[in-house]
Amino acid sequence: MIFEETIAAIATPPGQGGIGIVRISGPEALEIAREVFVFPGNRTYPFKDRYLHYGKVRDSDNRIIDEVLLTYMKAPRSYTAEDVVEIHCHGGIISVNNILQEVIKRGARLALPGEFTKRAFLNGRIDLAQAEAVMDLVSAKTEKSARISANQIVGSLSEKIGTIRERLLALMAHIEVTIDYPEEDIDEPMIFSIRDGIGEIIGEIERLLRTAEEGKIIRQGIKVVIVGKTNVGKSSLLNALLRENRAIVTDIPGTTRDIIEDFINIRGIAVRIVDTAGIRETPDQIERIGIQRSRQNMDEADLVIMVIDSSEPLGCEDMEILEHIRDKKALILLNKIDKTPVLTRKDVVEELGGDIPVVNTSLTLGTGIDKVEDMIYTMFFKGEIEADHDVTVTNIRHQEALIRAQSQLQDLIEGLDTQMPLDIVSIDLRGALDALGSITGETVTDDLIDKIFSEFCLGK
């Protein structure tokens, strides 16, 4: 596609840094670069494709804004498949903003979120699955999620989907020929061949869908909420998992009054760990709000870790929490085992009447932390994740499209089995093709494209 407007944006995070980058893309990118960039000695040189050029950026009053390096990437060998110019200046809010404003004065428009990647997609340099993987890589919080995103950027998922669609198109051709030439009856072996082919493709889709749950966790991480009554060691657990003193720890009940959260990395999985206010009856209005948020976070958690003081008998607050998490994925910590224990694992299991794992810990001594991390991991993954060595579905949109395709193909097989007319059966086949095409962007609507790219960051 040919876009009339030239766009520009800051491509580096805001704040202080060694380098800041202003990116320009579009038909006027090179002309704008000539207007704002000055070579040493005010000499004039041609901009070479894919070279770093040293010089200065000046404003309209001929004042120097910054000393910079400029790169010109000629279409179509650029990120957007358009002419692209990147100005590398000193990092800092003032310098990059002044250069961006000068570029906009010379005719560029401020880019929308994700507009550079959107142009790369619309110009056919990447497909939609690859474009979404770009944002996944930018926002990756672990090495494992970054590797999967990088594999998808180079087309691992797209290639798999493309192969499946090619096989479906070949089967569609057999059916269409029979529809177009009804005098050529389709024989029984051909029906069996089509049915077997569809069955194999359903198997391929099922294998992809089996990766989706783990893939979603790798991409998004899991939310783990720490709960318990006051002064049982919740904040000590947060600090131990983070390996830093993130939360204040005292012997005074009610020290934690609001939600404290951070991210940790457990074997390549991003874990959003949330420390909550201790649950108890209190006249303090602020603490009561914190306790209400604790209950809300329990409901939203992927995993609840309940901390119990093993040196005391179970209290009414403990019983309330145990009842709340009875049907949730949960892990119980019997803390303070360095003191004289009153509670045992058997006591807690009998009280719950369920099969929630229980780990003995002494958070002041650091006992049991490794076991807690192991349990968090194994409660979501049965074995070692090998997803980075194969195609993995990490995007909910892709998962839903695969489910739609699978459903359509199952309806198709049912139609063949009940000898429905082939023109009716072919509708299901087209539906499956459209569902798979929506993953790579071949059959996607403009509204969905706009929504996907609106979630990208500026400058990408």
Position 1 in a domain:
no
Structural domains of the chain, count: 3
Question: What type of residue sits at position 346?
Answer: K
pTM above 0.95, yes or no: no
pLDDT in tens, 177-191: 766 655 555 556 667
Rounded Cα distance, 73 and 92, in Å = 25
DSSP state string for 279-346: P---S-HHHHHHHHHHHHHHHH-SEEEEEEETTS---HHHHHHHHHTTTS-EEEEEE-TTS-----HH
Angle at 294 between CA 290 and CA 298, to 5 degrees: 170
Position 268 in a domain:
yes
Task: Say yes or no: 240 and 205 in one domain.
Answer: no
Task: Say yes or no: 14 and 77 in one domain.
Answer: yes
Q: What is the CATH number of the domain that holds 55?
A: 3.30.1360.120
Rounded Cα distance, 121 and 79, in Å = 10
Task: Say yes or no: 103 and 189 in one domain.
Answer: no
Position 84 in a domain:
yes
Position 282 in a domain:
yes
Task: Say yes or no: 419 and 272 in one domain.
Answer: no
Task: Say yes or no: 272 and 363 in one domain.
Answer: yes
Task: Say yes or no: 81 and 163 in one domain.
Answer: no
Task: Say yes or no: 206 and 228 in one domain.
Answer: no
The tokens of 8 are what?
């520009």
Position 73 in a domain:
yes
Task: Say yes or no: 53 and 92 in one domain.
Answer: yes
Position 456 in a domain:
no
Q: What is the CATH number of the domain that holds 300?
A: 3.40.50.300
* DSSP summary character for residue 98: H
Task: Say yes or no: 245 and 280 in one domain.
Answer: yes
Task: Say yes or no: 230 and 369 in one domain.
Answer: yes
Position 18 in a domain:
yes
Whether 362 contacts 338, CB under 8 Å? yes
pLDDT at 354: 66
Question: What type of residue sits at position 294?
Answer: S
pLDDT in tens, 264-291: 888 878 888 888 876 655 555 555 566 6
Long-range contacts of 446-452 (CB under 8 A, 24+ apart): 449/118, 449/121, 449/128, 452/114, 452/128, 452/131, 452/132, 452/397
Domain that holds residue 190: 138-211+391-444
pLDDT tens-place values along the chain, 460 residues long: 678 999 999 999 888 889 999 999 999 999 999 999 999 988 888 999 999 999 999 998 899 999 999 999 999 999 999 999 999 999 989 999 999 999 999 999 999 999 999 999 999 999 999 999 999 998 888 888 888 999 999 999 999 999 999 999 988 887 777 666 555 555 566 677 888 889 999 999 999 999 888 888 888 888 899 888 888 888 888 888 888 765 444 444 444 445 688 888 888 788 888 888 766 555 555 555 666 777 777 788 889 998 989 888 888 888 888 887 878 888 999 999 888 888 888 888 777 766 788 889 898 888 889 998 888 888 887 654 444 447 889 999 999 999 999 999 999 999 888 888 777 888 999 999 999 999 999 988 889 899 999 888 888 8
Q: What is the CATH number of the domain that holds 182?
A: 1.20.120.430
Last residue of a domain, one of 378, 407, 422: 378
Residue 366, class by beta-carbon neighbours within 10 Å (0-12 exposed, 13-18 middle, 19+ buried)? exposed
Position 163 in a domain:
yes
pLDDT at 444: 87
Last residue of a domain, one of 321, 348, 378: 378
Place of tokens 């669609």: 165
Task: Say yes or no: 347 and 437 in one domain.
Answer: no
Task: Say yes or no: 180 and 84 in one domain.
Answer: no
